[in-house]
Amino acid sequence: MSYGRPINPATTVVRHSGEILHHELEVDLCVVGASISGTATGLEAARLGKSVAIVDSLPTLGGQAVNSIIGTFCGLYRNGTPGHRFTFGIVDEMLDDLEKRDACYYRYGPMTTVVHYNEIALSRWIETSLDDAGVVPITGAILRDVETDGRSLQSVNLVTRYGDVTIRAESFADCSRDAALAYLAGLECREPDEAFYGSQQVVFEGLNTEAEPPARYEWSERIDDKAADYGLLCQGGLAFYFPWKDAAVLNTTHVETHLDPIEASKMGQIARIRSTGAIIS
């Protein structure tokens, strides 16, 4: 049976020459962090006629807004019911697109209005908008170092699976959310003196959507009961439900966030085991 294009069986044996592949790019603006803020920055600049490259260490565009599975915008509306929207510009286009695709839902809560959205639809909007505006994406690329002329940034050096990349630019925007570029550029950054904590999300699939979900206090009580048994540092829980999913995302606990790469990776795995254990035990 044929499935269209045949698999090409021809191969060539290659061996690493020892030379690191190196690519160069020159643009007006280099945005570090292809997140929601990076996307807005890149789009606005490209539409003003600037050449733009957008860089992210993840293999995808959209940062946390796409990849943290939470699918909720809090903060587009001011407090109060129904709450008036105060964030416009690129957000107008984004919400129009999500509405057209039937991929968002407005919840008018007691505190403010939140917008639940489908993360895949948002990621499509980000990809298409950046592509239409001619922004060059470089994903899976991590900042290694920067070059300055002693006064201002001249270029950034990135590491990717396909070799190193140098981007020279007239301007740079740090949308990494943890000041990755500012720090490498030698600017003063502030970090906490004591340990700090990151939240761990747990996704629960296969929910019975007909049944009334547990109330917020019920989740919190459940976590309080089990926290000590499972080594959870922050007690209480917050659940997010979505009208079109048979899944919920639970923000169940906080775990110590290490700045050491080995400890940070280890803690990420442990946190998942602890959080899941506390909920399903």
Ligand X SMILES: Cc1cc2nc3c(=O)[nH]c(=O)nc-3n(C[C@H](O)[C@H](O)[C@H](O)COP(=O)(O)OP(=O)(O)OC[C@H]3O[C@@H](n4cnc5c(N)ncnc54)[C@H](O)[C@@H]3O)c2cc1C
Residues within the interface to ligand X (CB under 6 A): 32-38, 55-58, 63-65, 68, 70, 72-75, 142-143, 175-178, 180, 199, 201
Tokens encoding 123: 């990621």
Q: Of the candidates 187, 192, 159, 163, which has an alpha carbon nearest to the alpha carbon of residue 174?
A: 187
Tell me how far, at minimum, the Cβ of 87 lies from ligand X, in Å.
10
All residues at 6 or more sequence positions from 34 whose CB lies less than 8 Å from its CB, including other chains: 42, 54, 55, 56, 58, 61, 62, 63, 126, 130, 137, 139, 175
- What pairs with residue 115 in β-bridges? 73, 106
Tell me how far, at minimum, the Cβ of 199 lies from ligand X, in Å.
6
End-to-end CA distance of the chain: 49
* CB nearer to ligand X: pick between 89 and 228: 89
- The residue (of 45 and 55) whose beta carbon lies closer to ligand X is 55
The distance of closest approach from Cβ of residue 276 to ligand X in the complex, given in angstroms and rounded to an integer, is 15
Q: In the complex with ligand X, which residue's Cβ is closer, 48 or 74?
A: 74
Considering the complex, state which of residue 225 and residue 244 has its C-beta at the smaller distance from ligand X: 244
- Minimum distance from CB of 155 to ligand X (Å)? 14
